[in-house]
């Protein structure tokens, strides 16, 4: 067995464990987390609140740029290039909670935008970092829980989001659009 097949097998086993150990009372919450963060809606709203409270456009502008860059990389570049099938295609007997996406599985756009947003909001409001990261982790986990992603899709998305946030934060700090603290 090659290292790649070992990683793929582990990825499938972890996904299978998550979806077979669902807690029915959490199903609605997991679906809601995915629904309200689709397209970065919740993250943009939170950045708008921070921006209004601060009276400066930096957090919202930085968030919007980061989410745009993240969406372009995940949806237009990586997903079509990688072309990984969704878990429910390979294992149709596992119930998907909510709708079944039609695009490729890797990387997770929800995870990318959530990690990116946690970094942006954590820079803007450091005292709430625990909240931002808890929400980001919960959204990322929800994608596996709902049956629409593998764990590696979520990790890959998180890496994309972190990279996008780091690039935009570095540029915005350099151009003095937004002071992190």
Instruction: Give residue-wise pLDDT tens across range 58-80.
Output: 788 899 999 999 999 999 999 99
Torsion-angle region of 149 (φ positive above 0: left; ψ -120 to 50: alpha; else: beta): beta
pLDDT at 178: 52
Span 27-36, mean pLDDT? 95
This prediction has a pTM of 0.90
Dihedral (Cα; 68, 71, 77, 78), 10-degree rounding? 140
Instruction: Give residue-wise pLDDT tens across range 114-133.
Output: 999 999 999 999 999 999 99
Give strand ranges (E) for 33-162. Answer: none
47 contacts 64 by C-beta, under 8 angstroms: yes
């Amino acid at each position: 067995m090659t290292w790649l097949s070992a990683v793929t097998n582990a990825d499938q086993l972890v996904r299978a464990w998550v979806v077979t150990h669902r807690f029915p009372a959490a199903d609605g919450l997991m679906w809601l987390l995915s629904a309200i963060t689709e397209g970065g809606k919740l993250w943009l709203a939170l950045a708008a609140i921070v921006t209004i409270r601060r009276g400066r456009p930096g957090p919202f502008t930085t968030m919007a740029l980061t989410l745009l860059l993240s969406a372009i990389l995940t949806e237009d570049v990586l997903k079509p290039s990688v072309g990984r099938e969704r878990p429910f295609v390979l294992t149709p007997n596992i119930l998907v909670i909510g709708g079944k996406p039609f695009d490729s599985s890797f990387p997770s756009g929800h995870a990318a935008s959530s990690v990116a947003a946690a970094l942006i909001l954590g820079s803007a409001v450091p005292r709430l970092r625990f909240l931002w990261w808890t929400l980001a982790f919960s959204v990322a986990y929800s994608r596996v829980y709902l049956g629409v992603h593998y764990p590696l899709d979520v990790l890959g998305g998180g890496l994309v989001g972190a990279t996008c946030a780091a690039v935009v934060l570095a540029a915005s700090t350099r151009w003095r659009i937004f002071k992190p603290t």
